[in-house]
């Protein structure tokens, strides 16, 4: 089994808003992975500015360089956590558009969308409402599985997220903490299994 300490996990918030509850939740998820002994990194989609996906633009100019960079960033990690707000019961355009472009990257002989199919994804959301963004996560899961990505069953929909933290910036609810730990453990386990499967066998006798 691949040691957990050798895994690399990428956390991507689907929001750029100042004071975003989902960026805050992403930081909480980062801390949980770090506590589990896993290398973890958080990025901002502001560092990968992309136009709205347009087939004519792609045909004329190719896939934007920022989409290629984002695809390579995802490809450099063993698992990905998407922390997505919910807009009108859907994932936000920022996140969906980034994923749309990533699925169009085709380099080094890999088919388009290859990067999504070779590492597990976990989903989380935070909302001031009682559903915690769960409806948006359902649609995001549908989108990813439609791209043949492996999305783990465990997810975190943090309801009333503006009141969910104590004075030490930790989740107050034992249920929320347990769900977060379960998500982290499941993503680590699946990432270990997938990397074990993908790595070539040792040729030594």
Neighbours of 115 (CB within 10 A): 23
H/E/C letters for each residue in 74-107?
HHCCCEEEEECCCECCECCHHHHHHHHHHCCCCC
Residue-level pLDDT at 38 = 96
Crossing angle of the two packed helices 93-102 and 134-146, in degrees rounded to 10: 10
Question: Which of helix, strand or coil describes residue 69?
Answer: helix
Distance (Å, rounded) from C-alpha 11 to C-alpha 18? 18
Ranges of the chain whose pLDDT falls below 50: 200-205
| CATH code for residues 4-198 | 3.40.50.360
Crossing angle of the two packed helices 174-198 and 21-35, in degrees rounded to 10: 60
Residue-level pLDDT at 200 = 44
Residue with tokens 């896993």: 38
Distance (Å, rounded) from C-alpha 103 to C-alpha 9? 20
Residue-level pLDDT at 198 = 65
What's the token pair of residue 58?
A: 């792609």
CA 97-98-101 angle, 5° bins = 85
Domain positions in the chain: 4-198
Residue-level pLDDT at 203 = 38
Q: What is the pTM of this model?
A: 0.93
Residue-level pLDDT at 1 = 67
DSSP 119: S
């Amino acid at each position: 089994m691949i040691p957990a300490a050798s895994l690399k996990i990428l956390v991507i918030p689907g929001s750029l808003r100042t004071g975003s509850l989902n960026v805050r939740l992403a930081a909480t998820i980062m801390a949980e992975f770090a506590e589990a002994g896993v290398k973890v990194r958080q990025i901002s989609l502001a560092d990968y500015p992309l136009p709205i996906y347009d087939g004519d633009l792609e045909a004329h100019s190719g896939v934007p360089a920022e989409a290629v960079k984002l695809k390579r960033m995802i490809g450099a990690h063993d698992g990905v956590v998407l922390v997505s707000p919910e807009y009108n019961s859907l994932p936000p355009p920022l996140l969906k558009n980034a994923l749309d472009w990533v699925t169009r990257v085709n380099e080094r002989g890999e088919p388009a969308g290859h990067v999504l199919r070779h590492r597990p994804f976990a989903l989380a959301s935070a909302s001031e409402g009682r559903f915690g963004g769960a409806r948006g996560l359902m649609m995001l899961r549908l989108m990813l599985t439609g791209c043949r990505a492996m999305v783990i069953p465990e997810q975190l929909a943090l309801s009333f997220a503006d009141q969910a933290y104590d004075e030490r910036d930790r989740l107050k609810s034992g249920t929320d903490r347990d769900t977060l730990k379960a998500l982290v453990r499941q993503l680590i386990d699946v990432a270990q299994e997938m990397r074990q499967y993908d790595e070539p066998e040792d040729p030594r006798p």
